[in-house]
Amino acid sequence: MSLKAGDKAPEFQVKDQNGNLVKLSDYKGKKVVLYFYPKDNTPGCTAEACNLKDNHQALKKAGYEVIGVSKDDEKSHQKFIEKYELPFILLADTELDIHGKYGTWVEKSMYGKIYGHRTRHLSHR
């Protein structure tokens, strides 16, 4: 699936780092920055998360909620949040359901090995 500017954001429900069920509809009427990343504790993903952490107060002041999404499980997310003191929730999309709905995960292959890869960032309301 490929979303375009102006498309309605697909609904989802998945658990956050604490096992709480989170639905996009929980944020109806709010501005949401939904960011996708491949893996907790990798250099690029850590830099991205820390940049969002450093700018979190400005984003909150502007009325945005930040939500991170990766295929990592709840335990991995908990450790990532604790290690870097991230002030926003991370969703455990272990079945790649949200990634599939938003078109942010595709299979690639290199030297016969197949692996997943995040294709782009999305932000929406």
pLDDT tens for 78-106 read: 999 999 999 999 999 999 999 989 988 76
d(CA 122, CA 17): 21
Q: Does residue 91 contact residue 68 with C-beta atoms inside 8 Å?
A: yes
Query: What is the SS3 assignment for 8?
Result: coil
d(CA 39, CA 46): 9
Catalytic positions? 45
Instruction: List the chain residues with pLDDT less than 70.
Output: 1, 106-125
For the chain, domains (ranges, CATH) are 29-118 (3.40.30.10)
pLDDT of res. 106? 65
Query: What is the SS3 assignment for 36?
Result: strand
- pTM score of the predicted model: 0.84
| CA distances from residue 3 to 13, 101, 108, 111 in whole angstroms, order as listed | 18, 9, 20, 30
pLDDT of res. 54? 98
pLDDT of res. 113? 53
Helices 43-54 and 74-84, interaxial angle, to 10°?
60
